[in-house]
């Protein structure tokens, strides 16, 4: 079970840092889209990016201390639930042009839950 938990943790950690780093620096299309399309402030976008980078750190350290990895996976999942809410509010799930990008937080929520459960079972 630990190998599965480690694989899921590494995958989720890589996604978290890849998503969080550009938001933290307010670089790229995603940060600009969150500000223009979603109406988020630059400070909130940066905060979300920092939370995602913190999840990366927690998931990596959580490979050696599972309670931190579980907390990081749950925290990242909560962040993704918030993203789902913002996408729903913006109508992204109804628009075929934006539906693909809006599905990522749903999938990452499930991956976060799977990671937290497998880390818990591996303890």
Mean pLDDT of all residues in the chain?
93
Phi-psi region of 81 (alpha: psi -120 to 50; beta: other; left: phi over 0): alpha
Task: Indicate the pTM of the whole model.
Answer: 0.91
The token pair that represents 15 in the structure block: 């996604």
Quick one: average pLDDT of 91-106?
A: 90
Quick one: average pLDDT of 72-91?
A: 94
Whose tokens are 């109508």? That residue is 91
* pLDDT tens profile 14-68: 999 999 999 999 998 888 888 888 888 999 999 999 999 999 999 999 999 999 9
* pLDDT tens profile 48-57: 999 999 999 9
- Is residue 88 helix, strand or coil? helix
């Amino acid at each position: 079970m630990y190998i599965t938990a480690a694989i899921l943790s590494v995958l989720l950690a890589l996604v978290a840092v890849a998503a969080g780093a550009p938001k933290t620096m307010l670089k790229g299309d995603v940060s600009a889209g969150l500000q223009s399309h979603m109406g988020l402030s630059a400070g909130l976008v940066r905060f979300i990016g920092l939370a995602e980078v913190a999840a990366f750190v927690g998931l990596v350290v959580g490979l050696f201390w599972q309670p931190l990895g579980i907390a990081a996976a749950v925290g990242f999942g909560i962040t993704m639930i918030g993203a789902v809410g913002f996408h729903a509010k913006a109508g992204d799930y109804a628009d075929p042009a934006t539906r693909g990008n809006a599905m990522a937080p749903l999938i990452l929520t499930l991956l976060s839950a799977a990671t937290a459960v497998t880390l818990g079972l591996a303890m």
